[in-house]
Each structure stands twice: as C-alpha cells, then as structure tokens.
C-alpha cells in the first residue's frame, strides 16, 4: 500500500503567533476575522509553494531577460461553508485569478455525520487544481464528504487546507483520501465528546460571524 500524501504543518512563526492570538477566548469578532484573513494569506504561500513555473522572456528598462511565471494552470478555491469563507479573501489576495466553488455541509449534531445542502463549482473543474478551505479538521467527516463530492467533478488535483486539525480528522482524511495533501497550522491533542477540537479555538463559524 502506498503511504498517504503528507501533512504539512505550517510552522512559520508569523502563522504560529497569529494562531495563538486567534485561539484566545476573549478575542473580538473583528480581531478574529482579521487574524484569520492574515493567516490565510500566509498559508496561501505554503499551499502554492510547488506550483510549476515556466520561463518567459520580458524586457526590463535595461535589457531582455528570461524570468519565471506560474504555468498556465487554473486554481479553484473550494469553500466548505460556512467557516471556510473566513479563509477565502486572504487566499484570493494572493491568487486573485482563482475561481471559487462552494460546498454547504452541516454536521448532524447527534451523529456528527456531514449532510450536504449546497454545491456549486465552476464548469471547467477538469482543468483546475482545487484547494479546499475548511479551518477546522475535526472528525474529518465533513472534509471526507466534501472531497468525495469534489472528486465527482474530476479536478486535476486536490489539496486540503485547515487552520487547526485533530489527529482523528487527519487519520480519517488519510484513510479515505490518501492522495490529498493536508496543510494545517496545528494538530491539536484530541476531539471532545461533542466533536470539538481541544484545545482548539471553539466554533470557528460562530467566532468568525459573531453568532454566539
Ligand atoms: N468545528 C469548529 O468550528 N470547531 C471545532 O472545534 C470543531 C469543528
């Protein structure tokens, strides 16, 4: 059996510093939103690090030169609603030409199983590299369901980006989707009985939108 795609823990000091601030329970909604935005920009660098480049000829004010540009690949950010949208604007600042798809899933509070309520992708998914955005990789059930559904559209590649992951969620993703690399800023200790990541940061959607 081939080993699963790697888990990249983004340990850049700026990301780690901002994540620490983000975890604090007394942080305001606006500060939470701003920090998540900043972290998502920084994580965009990591998740796009191995994008292939090609050399083109350009002319500086002084002379002609060969210089690299990203190959004509197309990216689609796939937002897992609703917390995934907190990751989107920062990513789009770094990759402004990307398209955006949305997957709406909610967790059944009793079974913790993911139920789909919305799905909208660009038409040309088979020409695109997909980057799935879901800040909390908890049980992994919604992540697995989102990627299952996404694979039906046959994107060229899939990467999964979270902010905080639980070991259980990482295992679940690697069992079901060993071909999908995971990028995260932290792998926390465990899940609690309600499926929350501990120590975690609470409900990312509620903190992002101020709904609690
Ligand atoms: N979703 C969240 O927002 N937080 C968790 O800890 C787990 C799932």
Sorted by sequence, the CB contacts under 8 Å of residue 133 that are 6+ apart come out as 40, 77, 78, 79, 80, 84, 85, 87, 88, 91, 161
Residue environment code for 6-18, b if the CB has 16+ CB neighbours within 10 A, otherwise e: ebbebeeeebeeb
Closest C-alpha among 154, 146, 97, 103 to residue 128: 154
Flag whether pLDDT at 111 surpasses 90.
no
User: What percentage of residues in the chain have a pLDDT greater than 70?
Assistant: 99
For range 51-56, the mean pLDDT: 92
Ligand 1, pocket residues at CB < 6 Å = 83, 136, 138, 195-197, 200, 203-205
In ligand 1, the atom with minimum distance to the C-alpha of 198 is 6
| Both tokens assigned to 44 | 């965009």
Residues in the chain: 212
Ligand 1 mean position, distance from CA 200 (Å): 8
| Both tokens assigned to 189 | 């200790």
pLDDT of residue 72: 67
Q: pLDDT per residue over 59-70, tens digit each?
A: 999 999 999 998
| Residue of 83, 85, 87, 198 to mutate, ligand 1, most atoms within 8 A of C-beta | 83
pLDDT of residue 73: 72
Is residue 63 in a domain? no
Is residue 118 in a domain? yes
Is residue 99 in a domain? yes
Residue environment code for 164-199, b if the CB has 16+ CB neighbours within 10 A, otherwise e: bbbebbbebbbebbeebbbbbbbbbeebeeebbbee
Cβ distance 98 to 81 under 8 Å? no
Flag whether pLDDT at 114 surpasses 90.
no
Average pLDDT of the chain to the nearest whole number: 94
How far is it, in rounded angstroms, from Cα 44 to Cα 183? 10
Flag whether pLDDT at 1 surpasses 70.
no
Which residue's CA is the nearest one to ligand 1's atom 2? 203
Domain that holds residue 36: 9-51+72-209
Is residue 90 in a domain? yes
For range 164-193, the mean pLDDT: 97
Q: pLDDT per residue over 4-49, tens digit each?
A: 888 999 999 999 999 999 999 999 999 999 999 999 999 999 999 9
How far is it, in rounded angstroms, from Cα 38 to Cα 80? 19
Is residue 191 in a domain? yes
Is residue 101 in a domain? yes
Ligand 1 mean position, distance from CA 209 (Å): 14
- Which CATH number is 113's domain given? 3.40.50.2020
Is residue 144 in a domain? yes
Q: pLDDT per residue over 188-205, tens digit each?
A: 999 999 999 999 999 999
| Both tokens assigned to 6 | 């790697």
Q: What is the number of structural domains in the chain?
A: 1
Is residue 4 in a domain? no
pLDDT of residue 57: 98
């Amino acid at each position: 059996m081939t080993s699963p795609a790697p888990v990249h823990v983004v340990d850049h000091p700026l990301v780690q510093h901002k994540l620490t601030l983000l975890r604090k329970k007394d942080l305001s909604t606006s500060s939470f939103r701003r920090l998540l935005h900043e972290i998502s920009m920084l994580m965009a660098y990591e998740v796009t690090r191995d994008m292939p480049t090609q050399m083109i000829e350009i002319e500086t004010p002084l002379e002609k030169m060969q210089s690299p540009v990203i190959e004509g690949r197309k990216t689609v950010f796939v937002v897992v609603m609703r917390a995934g949208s907190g990751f989107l604007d920062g990513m789009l600042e770094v990759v402004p030409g990307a398209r955006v798809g949305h997957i709406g899933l909610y967790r059944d509070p009793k079974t913790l199983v993911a139920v789909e309520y919305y799905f909208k992708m660009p038409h040309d998914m088979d020409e695109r590299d997909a980057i799935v955005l879901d800040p909390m990789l908890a049980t992994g059930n919604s992540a697995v369901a989102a990627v299952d559904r996404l694979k039906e559209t046959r994107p060229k590649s899939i990467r999964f980006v979270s902010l905080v992951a639980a070991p259980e969620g990482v295992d679940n993703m690697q069992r079901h989707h060993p071909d999908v690399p995971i990028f995260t800023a932290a792998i926390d200790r465990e899940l609690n009985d309600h499926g929350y990541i501990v120590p975690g940061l609470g409900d990312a959607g509620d903190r992002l939108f101020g709904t609690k």
